[in-house]
Amino acid sequence: MESHEPKTSNSTAEEDGCSNWDRAVVARRVERLFLHLNPPPEFSDGVELARCAGRAKSDVNTEQLSKYMRGKYRDVQQKVYDYFNSRPELQTPLEISKDEHRELCMRQLMGLVREAGIRPFRYVVEEPAKYFAILEAVGSVDMSLGIKMGVQYSLWGGSVLNLGTKKHRDKYFEGIDNVEYPGCFAMTELHHGSNVQGLQTVATFDPIKDEFIIDTPNDGAIKWWIGNAAVHGKFATVFAKLMLPTHDTKGVADMGVHAFIVPIRDMKTHKPLPGVEIHDCGHKVGLNGVDNGALRFRSVRIPRDDLLNRFGDVSRDGKYTSSLPSINKRFAATLGELVGGRVGLAYSSVGVLKIAVIIAVRYSLLRQQFGPPKAPEISILDYQSQQHKLMPMLASTYAFHFATLDLIDKYSEMKKTHDEQLVGDVHALSAVLKSYVTSYTAKSLSICREACGGHGYAAVNRFGSLRNDHDIFQTFEGDNTVLLQQVAGYLLKQYKEKFQGGTLTVTWNYLRESMNSYLSQPNPVTARWEGEDHLRDPKFQLDAFRYRTSRLLQSVAVRLRKHSKTLGSFGAWNRCLNHLLTLAESHIESVILAKFIDAVRSCPDPSSRAALKLLCDLYALDRIWNDIGTYRNVDYVAPNKAKAIHKLTEYLCFQVKNISRELVDAFDLPDYVTRAPIGMQAAEEAYAQYTQFAGF
């Protein structure tokens, strides 16, 4: 153990009301405890032989760790697992045609709601954490089912509850809840996805008949990718520009995008209603259990009451009323209500990542290939390269677990209190977490497949369907690249407010402090500290993450100001786009790390805490190493410190590997949920299950 740094350098400044000095003291205690539990790693060559000798004995108490990880809603998740486990005919086979898959998916949803008696709709607004727990569990049965359920309850149902008023709730709640009213969320058009304000579908008010007339003005405005539309939907929440008649020469005023309930199929015959043309969007890369369709409207009339009028209404005489002063505000309020979808995706994405990591880690422990001369072959997880692929991923899975649980807590709180600061915080946090987590999971699924070699390519071992189904998580409910830009925009706003002395949103409070430390030069002394105590000190890690965010933020603000003069604000933004995206990612990495450090500290069981501390250090140092160029470029870390970070990262991978079986077991997902033969909990059965599957 190298440890020659002074320990009192971090006794200034405050954060979240807890002084850093306190924090450092706690951190040192945690570290001492950790070192007590896990004897100091002999960070020398001597211990290396253990790398070939298999896993070191582990102290981790899986049950305790699992208990700490488990959310409040594990019971309802177990109910979902048990129900589908008891109904093999409802399980999705490896080979199924698109049309059969869609029907099966509908039967799965019906079974869940009507037979298992799990009614997710009531939780959408009232107990969102429970809703998301059900969503995650359902997604692990078949991700198509998760998305189908999300379309019905979060999107179609959610739009009625969140954008409509009591009359809509009274009229539609029951039918949505029991799936008598399967519905769609018709926002995206062929030519417009991310740019919702550019939608072209129109809803023109006809004051004579007291109706809206819904029209698709051109091919580009065809509603596209609408889930539930191709086969099952009876209704659609249609987003369209509200057009009101005026008395001026134009004759009509565009009031901006609003949402309308439009019946699309006959309740009895199930045939498309007059004026509604429905086509099938066809096969997708994944999620083929969801029937995405395309909708074209030709003068479809709906009563005035079917405008979802929470944020803007039209009176009998065609007058527009709203509690919100402008089109932009109303648009923001409308989209703001849809933020739950992102929360759910971020959370479900972590669920997918857990399944993949469990399978990849267990198989990597099982699989043996090569080894020292004249000795038995060793497990492929004993190879440094395999640890490098999977251990930072395992650490990230834990990090994301805590971060998304926190997001759900904040979201639930927001739904209760409608606190304005919290609304802003949840919006930005859900956008950036959804983006960051789903991109990470998507990459990880490919890494897991590749890390499991040929057997990872067997469909039964799940990486293919997980990847294909999850892939679109990066795009829907907000394209990741677009969402990251929104968050960069929020960060710049916060930055501006800081300099005007205003208050910062909770999640970004850290910027106040780290911006100060950033604006001074990096400390040439600490830049040279390379002892393990220092590198594993949460204070060093958080400082480094936040320094980076602050630096990116300050420098992009300067660049934007400079370029705006010649390019205008849009041109300047585009000129700095890569920089802005990096800023948003750096920010969320800081936020995730802070949450993870809190979660380590709050863990009551010492052995679990020690394991979490190990994972947290790996998460932190791996990320710092990944961007070491930035840190080196401003001499935030000296060359030898950079090397020490790299060396320690590799060593932490090795340490995590030694308890990796317990760490994946702690996710507490039974074999009938993970379902991959090569990822079975009882290693001795894995190959046998796999050969049996092939008919041996």
Least spacing, CB of residue 170 vs a copy of itself, in Å:
34
In this complex, which beta carbon is closest to a copy of itself, that of residue 142 or of residue 513? 142
DSSP string, 548-582: HHHHHHHHHHHHHHHHHHHHHHHHHHHHTHHHHHH
Q: Which of residues 45-64 bind a copy of itself (CB under 8 A)?
A: 45-46, 48-49, 51-52
CA distance 520 to 497: 20
CA distance 474 to 438: 6
User: Could you say which residues in the range 290-309 bind a copy of itself, by CB under 8 A?
Assistant: 294, 296
d(CA 223, CA 229): 10
Q: Which residue among 40, 54, 220, 502 contacts a copy of itself (CB under 8 A)? A: 220
Active site residue 477: yes
| Contact string (CB under 8 A) for a copy of itself, positions 362-381, x = contact | ------xxxxxx---x----
SS3 label, residue 184: strand
486 contributes a contact to a copy of itself by CB under 8 A: no
Q: Which stretch binds a copy of itself (CB under 8 A): 17-25, 129-137, 145-153, 688-696?
A: 688-696
Q: Tokens at residue 140, please?
A: 């692990």
By CB under 8 A, what part of segment 496-525 binds a copy of itself? none
Interaction mask 222-261, a copy of itself, x per CB under 8 A: x-xx------------------------------------
d(C-alpha 140, C-alpha 358), whole Å: 13
Return phi, psi of residue 80, to 5°.
Answer: -60, -50
Tell me whether residue 205 or residue 573 sits nearer to a copy of itself (CB atom).
Answer: 573
Report the Cα 556 to chain-centroid distance in Å.
Answer: 26
CA-closest candidate to residue 343, choices 657, 557, 125: 125
Q: Which is nearer to a copy of itself, 217 or 571 (CB)?
A: 571
State in angstroms the smallest separation of the CB of 555 from a copy of itself. Answer: 11
What binding mask, one character per residue, do residues 174-203 give for a copy of itself by CB under 8 A, x or -?
--------------x-xxxxxx--x-----
Residue 461 C-beta: closest distance to a copy of itself, Å: 9
Q: Which of 79, 329, 388, 601 is in the footprint of a copy of itself by CB under 8 A?
A: 388
Shortest gap between Cβ of 54 and a copy of itself (angstroms)?
A: 13
Q: 236 with 295: CB under 8 angstroms? A: yes
Using CA atoms, how far apart are residues 112 and 114, in angstroms rounded to an integer? 6
Q: What is the DSSP letter of 252?
A: E
Q: Say which of 31, 136, 189, 477 is annotated catalytic.
A: 477
Distance separating alpha carbons of residues 675 and 382, to the nearest angstrom: 25
Residue 62 counted as an annotated binding residue: no
Q: How far is the CB of 44 from a copy of itself (least distance, A)?
A: 8
CB nearer a copy of itself, residue 154 or residue 507:
154
Name the residue among 441, 470, 406 with its Cα closest to residue 129. Answer: 406
Is the Cβ of residue 161 or residue 366 nearer to a copy of itself in the bound state?
A: 366
Q: What are phi and psi of 349, to 5 degrees?
A: -65, -40
Q: How many CB atoms lie within 10 A of CB 443?
A: 13
By CB under 8 A, name the one of 8, 321, 520, 566 that touches a copy of itself: 566
| Interface with a copy of itself (CB under 8 A), residue from 204, 468, 486, 517 | 468
CA 527 to CA 637: how far, in whole Å?
4
Instruction: Considering only the stretches 34-42, 154-162, 422-430, 455-463, report the one whose residues sit in contact with a copy of itself under the rule CB under 8 A.
Output: 455-463
Contact stretch for a copy of itself (CB under 8 A) within 260-268, 392-400, 415-423, 459-467: 459-467
Which residue is associated with the tokens 């932009």?
A: 328
Residue 188 assigned ligand-binding role? yes
Tokens (6 digits) for 154:
């979060």
Nearest-angstrom CA–CA distance, 403 and 524: 33
Per CB under 8 A, 383 contacts a copy of itself = yes
Q: Which is nearer to a copy of itself, 128 or 150 (CB)?
A: 150
Q: How far is the CB of 458 from a copy of itself (least distance, A)?
A: 6
CB of 548 to a copy of itself, least distance (A): 13
Question: For residues 262-291, which are near a copy of itself according to CB under 8 A?
Answer: 277, 279-286
User: With CB under 8 A, what is the number of residues at the site for a copy of itself?
Assistant: 103
Query: What is the nearest approach in angstroms of a copy of itself to the Cβ of residue 264?
Result: 16
8 Å CB contact between 686 and 679: yes
13 vs 332 by CB, closer to a copy of itself: 332
Answer whether 240's CB lies under 8 Å from 300's CB.
no
Q: Is the CB of 219 or the CB of 266 nearer to a copy of itself?
A: 219
Q: How far is the CB of 232 from a copy of itself (least distance, A)?
A: 17
Report the distance separating Cα 578 and Cα 477, nearest Å: 22
Least gap, CB of 394 to a copy of itself (angstroms): 17
Q: Among 26, 460, 506, 557, which residue interacts with a copy of itself (rule: CB under 8 A)?
A: 460
59-64's contacts with Cβ under 8 Å and 24+ in sequence apart are 59/607, 59/610, 59/659, 60/607, 60/608, 60/610, 60/611, 60/659, 60/662, 60/663, 60/666, 61/605, 61/607, 61/608, 62/662, 62/665, 62/666, 64/605, 64/607, 64/608
Give the interface segment with a copy of itself, choosing from 307-315, 341-349, 440-448, 510-518 (CB under 8 A): 440-448
Backbone angles phi, psi at 242, to 5 degrees: -80, 125
Query: CA neighbours within 13 Å on the CB side: how many for 158?
Result: 26
CB contact at 8 A, 679 and 363: yes
Q: Exposure pattern of 449-470 as b/e (b: 16+ CB <10 Å)? A: bebbeebbebebbbbbbbbbbb
For a copy of itself, the binding residues in 86-145 under the rule CB under 8 A are: 94-95, 97-98
Nearer to a copy of itself, 282 or 670 (CB): 282
The reply to whether 409 sits near a copy of itself by the rule CB under 8 A is no
| Cα–Cα distance, 218 to 200 (Å, whole number) | 8
Least separation in angstroms between residue 282's CB and a copy of itself is 6
Find the distance separating the first CA and the last CA of the chain, reported in whole Å: 53
**Residues 612 to 641 in contact with a copy of itself, rule: CB under 8 A:** 627-629, 632-634, 639
CA distances from 251 to 5, 205, 216, 245, 304 (A): 75, 12, 19, 6, 19
Q: How many CA atoms lie less than 13 Å away from 541 in the CB half-sphere?
A: 30
Q: Which of 40, 274, 303, 571 binds a copy of itself (CB under 8 A)?
A: 571
CA distance 477 to 451: 30
Contacting range for a copy of itself; rule: CB under 8 A; set: 12-20, 176-184, 398-406, 470-478: 470-478
Identify which range of 153-161, 317-325, 514-522, 563-571 contacts a copy of itself by CB under 8 A.
563-571
Measured from the CB atom, the residue of 110 and 281 that comes closer to a copy of itself is 281
Compose the 540-559 pattern: x for residues touching a copy of itself by CB under 8 A, - for all others: --------------------
- Indicate the annotated binding residues: 188, 227
Report, as residue numbers or ranges, the catalytic residues. 477
Annotated binding site for FAD: 188, 227
